Amino acid sequence: TPLRYMDKPSKDGASKDYWYSGIGNVDVHYSSGPANHWFYLLSEGSGAKTVNGVTYDSPTSDGLPVTGIGRDKALQIWFKALTTKFTSTTNYAAARTGTLAVASELYGATS
């Protein structure tokens, strides 16, 4: 049994799939679900698909489709944001700002 489900974190029974205003009151292991889900959506995209023989169907909070950019590009964005934009007090809003800034730096302002 997986410890984390990136495509739909709530499949573990406790993690949250999306950010909401009260997420800061949730145990950090479960409140990290939106970041896990963000990385999955960024790399793989939303909707039904099979990855390495495993079937996934990852929804977005608003039901709109997301096209993934691939694991390598997603990793580059996350790592650079983590090492150059985030601090020990970075929250979800600041993480959004940081990852958008890095995406712009790496792939252009309209990326």
Q: What is the pLDDT of residue 85?
A: 98
For residue 8, pLDDT beyond 90: yes
Domain boundaries, the chain: 1-68, 69-111
SS3 80: helix
Superfamily of domain 69-111: Neutral Protease Domain 2 (1.10.390.10)
H, E, C per residue of 15-78: CCCCCCCCHHHCCHHHHCHHHHHHHHHHHHECEEEEECCEEEEECCCCCCCCECCCHHHHHHHH
pLDDT digits (tens, 9 = 90+) for 16-59: 999 999 999 999 999 999 999 999 999 999 999 998 898 999 99
Residue 71: which pLDDT band, with cuts at 50, 70 and 90? Answer: very high
For residue 3, pLDDT beyond 90: no
* Token pair 């790592």 in the structure block, residue: 79
CB-CB contact of 74 with 86 (8 Å) = no
Q: What average pLDDT is seen over the chain?
A: 95
